[in-house]
Amino acid sequence: MTEDLTAIRVDHFYAHPPAKVWRALTDPELMAQWLMPNSFRLEIGHEFTFTTDPRPNVDFDGIVYCRVLEIEPGKLLKISWSDGKKADWTVSWRLESEGRGTRVFLDHEGFDPDDTAQQFSRKIMGGGWRTHHFTKIADLLETMP
Amino acid sequence: MSSDALFAALASPARRRLLELLLREGDQPAGRLAERFDMSRPSVSEHLKVLRDAGLVAEARRGRERHYRLEAEPLMSLRDWLSPYERFWRERLAALGTILDEMPSTMDEKDDD
Protein backbone atom coordinates (compact mmCIF):
# COMPACT_ATOMS: atom_id res chain seq x y z
CA MET A 1 0.00 0.00 0.00
CA THR A 2 1.40 3.37 -0.93
CA GLU A 3 1.45 5.89 1.84
CA ASP A 4 -0.84 8.86 1.39
CA LEU A 5 1.15 11.79 2.67
CA THR A 6 -1.71 14.23 2.65
CA ALA A 7 -4.33 12.56 4.82
CA ILE A 8 -5.14 11.05 8.17
CA ARG A 9 -7.69 8.25 7.98
CA VAL A 10 -9.37 6.82 11.02
CA ASP A 11 -12.37 4.54 11.23
CA HIS A 12 -14.63 3.45 14.05
CA PHE A 13 -17.43 0.91 14.39
CA TYR A 14 -20.65 1.72 16.21
CA ALA A 15 -23.28 -0.82 17.21
CA HIS A 16 -26.01 1.55 16.04
CA PRO A 17 -27.79 1.89 12.72
CA PRO A 18 -26.53 4.48 10.21
CA ALA A 19 -29.60 6.73 10.63
CA LYS A 20 -28.86 7.17 14.30
CA VAL A 21 -25.15 7.71 13.74
CA TRP A 22 -26.01 10.27 11.09
CA ARG A 23 -28.19 12.15 13.55
CA ALA A 24 -25.45 12.24 16.21
CA LEU A 25 -23.01 13.32 13.55
CA THR A 26 -25.05 16.21 12.18
CA ASP A 27 -27.15 17.54 15.07
CA PRO A 28 -25.34 20.68 16.33
CA GLU A 29 -26.10 19.97 19.97
CA LEU A 30 -25.04 16.36 19.81
CA MET A 31 -22.03 17.40 17.78
CA ALA A 32 -21.10 19.80 20.56
CA GLN A 33 -21.09 16.88 22.97
CA TRP A 34 -18.77 14.58 21.08
CA LEU A 35 -16.79 17.08 19.02
CA MET A 36 -16.88 20.76 19.92
CA PRO A 37 -19.34 23.62 20.46
CA ASN A 38 -20.26 24.89 17.03
CA SER A 39 -22.53 26.94 14.81
CA PHE A 40 -23.03 24.06 12.39
CA ARG A 41 -26.13 23.64 10.20
CA LEU A 42 -26.69 20.74 7.86
CA GLU A 43 -26.77 22.87 4.75
CA ILE A 44 -24.43 23.01 1.78
CA GLY A 45 -22.27 26.15 1.79
CA HIS A 46 -23.05 27.00 5.42
CA GLU A 47 -20.05 28.66 7.09
CA PHE A 48 -19.54 27.90 10.75
CA THR A 49 -16.99 27.57 13.50
CA PHE A 50 -16.00 25.11 16.16
CA THR A 51 -14.63 26.59 19.36
CA THR A 52 -12.35 24.90 21.79
CA ASP A 53 -9.46 25.69 24.09
CA PRO A 54 -6.63 27.65 22.52
CA ARG A 55 -3.36 25.74 22.25
CA PRO A 56 -0.61 28.32 22.09
CA ASN A 57 2.07 25.63 21.83
CA VAL A 58 0.80 24.74 18.38
CA ASP A 59 -0.21 28.31 17.49
CA PHE A 60 -3.93 27.55 17.55
CA ASP A 61 -6.37 30.14 18.90
CA GLY A 62 -9.15 27.67 19.59
CA ILE A 63 -11.38 28.51 16.63
CA VAL A 64 -11.79 26.20 13.66
CA TYR A 65 -13.29 27.81 10.57
CA CYS A 66 -15.44 25.51 8.46
CA ARG A 67 -17.84 25.31 5.59
CA VAL A 68 -20.18 22.53 4.61
CA LEU A 69 -18.93 21.14 1.30
CA GLU A 70 -20.88 17.95 0.65
CA ILE A 71 -23.91 16.22 2.07
CA GLU A 72 -25.29 12.83 1.13
CA PRO A 73 -27.98 12.31 3.74
CA GLY A 74 -27.23 9.31 5.89
CA LYS A 75 -24.00 8.63 4.07
CA LEU A 76 -21.52 11.45 3.79
CA LEU A 77 -20.70 14.78 5.36
CA LYS A 78 -17.72 16.75 4.14
CA ILE A 79 -16.58 20.09 5.52
CA SER A 80 -13.61 22.40 5.08
CA TRP A 81 -11.51 22.79 8.21
CA SER A 82 -9.08 25.62 8.78
CA ASP A 83 -7.26 27.05 11.76
CA GLY A 84 -7.59 30.46 10.13
CA LYS A 85 -3.87 30.49 9.42
CA LYS A 86 -1.89 28.20 7.22
CA ALA A 87 -3.79 24.97 7.50
CA ASP A 88 -6.52 24.38 4.97
CA TRP A 89 -7.96 20.93 5.30
CA THR A 90 -11.12 18.99 4.59
CA VAL A 91 -12.72 16.55 6.98
CA SER A 92 -15.25 14.00 5.88
CA TRP A 93 -17.30 11.35 7.61
CA ARG A 94 -18.53 8.48 5.50
CA LEU A 95 -21.03 5.99 6.96
CA GLU A 96 -21.27 2.39 5.88
CA SER A 97 -23.58 -0.28 7.21
CA GLU A 98 -21.67 -3.11 8.77
CA GLY A 99 -23.72 -5.98 10.08
CA ARG A 100 -26.23 -4.46 12.48
CA GLY A 101 -24.12 -1.40 13.03
CA THR A 102 -22.26 1.33 11.22
CA ARG A 103 -18.67 1.97 10.40
CA VAL A 104 -17.62 5.60 10.16
CA PHE A 105 -14.61 6.44 8.02
CA LEU A 106 -13.09 9.76 8.91
CA ASP A 107 -10.72 11.37 6.43
CA HIS A 108 -8.81 14.46 7.38
CA GLU A 109 -7.20 15.55 4.14
CA GLY A 110 -5.07 18.29 2.69
CA PHE A 111 -1.85 18.06 4.65
CA ASP A 112 0.75 19.98 2.73
CA PRO A 113 3.43 17.65 1.34
CA ASP A 114 5.86 20.56 1.21
CA ASP A 115 5.43 21.59 4.81
CA THR A 116 8.09 19.67 6.65
CA ALA A 117 6.47 19.92 10.04
CA GLN A 118 3.03 18.90 8.78
CA GLN A 119 4.55 16.17 6.71
CA PHE A 120 6.64 14.86 9.48
CA SER A 121 3.71 14.72 11.80
CA ARG A 122 1.77 12.95 9.05
CA LYS A 123 4.50 10.42 8.61
CA ILE A 124 4.77 9.66 12.27
CA MET A 125 1.02 9.50 12.71
CA GLY A 126 0.36 7.45 9.62
CA GLY A 127 3.22 5.04 9.84
CA GLY A 128 2.09 3.63 13.11
CA TRP A 129 5.33 4.98 14.38
CA ARG A 130 3.75 7.35 16.79
CA THR A 131 1.20 5.05 18.32
CA HIS A 132 3.50 2.10 18.54
CA HIS A 133 6.55 3.90 19.71
CA PHE A 134 5.04 6.50 21.93
CA THR A 135 3.16 3.79 23.74
CA LYS A 136 6.41 2.02 24.35
CA ILE A 137 8.13 5.23 25.29
CA ALA A 138 5.27 6.03 27.64
CA ASP A 139 5.67 2.58 29.21
CA LEU A 140 9.35 3.19 29.48
CA LEU A 141 8.84 6.51 31.18
CA GLU A 142 6.47 4.89 33.66
CA THR A 143 9.26 2.67 34.82
CA MET A 144 11.75 5.50 35.07
CA PRO A 145 12.26 7.06 38.49
CA MET B 1 15.97 22.05 22.32
CA SER B 2 14.02 23.49 19.41
CA SER B 3 11.34 21.52 17.59
CA ASP B 4 13.19 22.17 14.34
CA ALA B 5 16.28 20.33 15.53
CA LEU B 6 14.15 17.43 16.71
CA PHE B 7 12.25 17.26 13.45
CA ALA B 8 15.46 17.37 11.49
CA ALA B 9 16.93 14.61 13.63
CA LEU B 10 13.86 12.42 13.26
CA ALA B 11 13.36 13.07 9.58
CA SER B 12 15.93 10.46 8.60
CA PRO B 13 14.80 6.82 8.35
CA ALA B 14 18.25 5.67 9.45
CA ARG B 15 18.05 7.76 12.59
CA ARG B 16 14.53 6.53 13.35
CA ARG B 17 15.83 3.01 12.91
CA LEU B 18 18.61 3.73 15.39
CA LEU B 19 16.07 4.98 17.91
CA GLU B 20 13.95 1.91 17.31
CA LEU B 21 16.88 -0.39 17.97
CA LEU B 22 17.70 1.43 21.19
CA LEU B 23 14.06 1.40 22.21
CA ARG B 24 13.54 -2.27 21.49
CA GLU B 25 16.87 -3.70 22.53
CA GLY B 26 18.08 -1.22 25.10
CA ASP B 27 21.47 0.41 25.51
CA GLN B 28 24.19 -0.79 23.24
CA PRO B 29 27.62 0.07 21.91
CA ALA B 30 27.95 2.09 18.72
CA GLY B 31 29.67 -0.84 17.04
CA ARG B 32 26.75 -3.17 17.54
CA LEU B 33 24.34 -0.59 16.19
CA ALA B 34 26.53 -0.02 13.17
CA GLU B 35 26.50 -3.73 12.31
CA ARG B 36 22.79 -3.47 11.59
CA PHE B 37 23.27 -1.00 8.78
CA ASP B 38 24.63 -1.28 5.28
CA MET B 39 26.27 2.10 5.54
CA SER B 40 29.80 2.67 6.80
CA ARG B 41 30.47 2.93 10.47
CA PRO B 42 31.48 6.62 10.25
CA SER B 43 28.11 7.32 8.61
CA VAL B 44 26.32 5.59 11.46
CA SER B 45 28.42 7.59 13.92
CA GLU B 46 27.41 10.74 12.14
CA HIS B 47 23.73 9.84 12.53
CA LEU B 48 24.30 9.08 16.20
CA LYS B 49 25.90 12.47 16.60
CA VAL B 50 22.84 14.19 15.13
CA LEU B 51 20.61 12.23 17.53
CA ARG B 52 22.91 13.17 20.41
CA ASP B 53 22.88 16.84 19.48
CA ALA B 54 19.08 16.69 19.40
CA GLY B 55 19.07 15.18 22.89
CA LEU B 56 17.47 11.97 21.67
CA VAL B 57 20.28 9.69 22.70
CA ALA B 58 22.95 9.90 25.36
CA GLU B 59 26.43 8.50 25.15
CA ALA B 60 28.50 6.88 27.86
CA ARG B 61 32.01 5.54 27.66
CA ARG B 62 32.46 2.03 28.95
CA GLY B 63 36.02 0.87 28.60
CA ARG B 64 36.96 1.35 25.02
CA GLU B 65 33.40 1.46 23.76
CA ARG B 66 30.83 4.16 23.49
CA HIS B 67 27.39 3.03 24.59
CA TYR B 68 24.24 4.72 23.47
CA ARG B 69 20.91 4.91 25.20
CA LEU B 70 17.59 6.43 24.26
CA GLU B 71 16.51 9.65 25.90
CA ALA B 72 12.75 9.61 25.63
CA GLU B 73 12.08 13.02 27.13
CA PRO B 74 12.42 15.11 23.97
CA LEU B 75 10.04 12.81 22.13
CA MET B 76 7.51 13.07 24.90
CA SER B 77 7.70 16.84 24.76
CA LEU B 78 6.95 16.66 21.06
CA ARG B 79 4.04 14.32 21.39
CA ASP B 80 1.44 17.04 21.66
CA TRP B 81 2.95 18.84 18.77
CA LEU B 82 3.21 15.82 16.55
CA SER B 83 0.13 13.87 17.13
CA PRO B 84 -2.74 16.27 17.56
CA TYR B 85 -5.00 15.10 14.80
CA GLU B 86 -4.97 11.36 14.78
CA ARG B 87 -5.27 11.27 18.53
CA PHE B 88 -7.89 14.00 18.41
CA TRP B 89 -10.06 12.10 15.95
CA ARG B 90 -9.71 8.80 17.71
CA GLU B 91 -10.83 10.41 20.94
CA ARG B 92 -13.70 12.27 19.26
CA LEU B 93 -14.95 9.18 17.45
CA ALA B 94 -14.87 7.29 20.73
CA ALA B 95 -16.85 10.12 22.33
CA LEU B 96 -19.39 9.84 19.50
CA GLY B 97 -19.82 6.20 20.52
CA THR B 98 -20.60 7.21 24.10
CA ILE B 99 -23.22 9.70 22.88
CA LEU B 100 -24.77 7.05 20.63
CA ASP B 101 -24.99 4.56 23.48
CA GLU B 102 -26.85 7.14 25.57
CA MET B 103 -29.15 8.42 22.82
CA PRO B 104 -32.61 6.96 22.62
CA SER B 105 -33.37 5.73 19.10
CA THR B 106 -36.23 7.26 17.16
CA MET B 107 -38.75 5.04 15.38
CA ASP B 108 -36.92 5.06 12.03
CA GLU B 109 -33.65 4.24 13.72
CA LYS B 110 -34.75 1.02 15.36
CA ASP B 111 -33.17 -2.23 14.34
CA ASP B 112 -35.61 -4.12 12.19
CA ASP B 113 -35.78 -7.31 14.17
Confidence at residue B44, expressed as pLDDT on a 0 to 100 scale: 95
Report chain B residues whose CB lies below 8 A from the CB of A141.
72, 76
Say yes or no for a CB contact (<8 Å) between A20 and B103: yes
Helices (H), A1-145: 18-26, 28-34, 116-126, 129-143
Instruction: List chain A domain ranges.
Output: 7-110, 115-145
Closest CA in chain A for residue B110: A17
Residues of chain B with pLDDT > 70, as a percent, come to 84
Say yes or no for a CB contact (<8 Å) between A58 and B84: yes
Confidence at residue B38, expressed as pLDDT on a 0 to 100 scale: 94
Q: Which CATH architecture has domain A7-110?
A: 2-Layer Sandwich (3.30)
Q: How far is Cα A85 from Cα A52, in angstroms, rounded to an integer?
A: 16
pLDDT tens for residues B15-69?
A: 988 988 887 788 899 999 999 999 999 999 999 999 999 898 999 998 888 999 9
ipTM of the complex: 0.71
Which DSSP letter does residue A15 get?
Answer: S
Say yes or no for a CB contact (<8 Å) between B93 and A106: yes
Say yes or no for a CB contact (<8 Å) between B109 and A12: no
CA distances from B45 to A3, B20, B53, B67 (A): 30, 16, 12, 12
Confidence at residue A59, expressed as pLDDT on a 0 to 100 scale: 67
Show which residues on chain B lie within 8 Å of chain A, measured between beta carbons: 3, 7, 10-11, 16, 19-20, 23, 70, 72, 75-76, 79-86, 89-90, 92-101, 103, 105-106, 108-111
Confidence at residue A144, expressed as pLDDT on a 0 to 100 scale: 41
Region B66-95: what's the mean pLDDT? 74
pLDDT of A72 higher than 70: yes
pLDDT tens for residues A19-44?
A: 999 999 999 999 999 999 999 999 99
Domains in chain B, please, with CATH?
3-74 (1.10.10.10)
> How many CB atoms neighbour CB B57 within 10 A?
25
Helices (H), chain B: 3-10, 13-25, 30-34, 41-53, 73-82, 84-102
Shortest distance between the Cα of B113 and any Cα of chain A, in A, equals 10
Non-local CB neighbours of A143 within 8 Å, separated by 6+ positions: none
Task: Using pLDDT thresholds of 50, 70 and 90, give the confidence band for residue A128.
Answer: very low
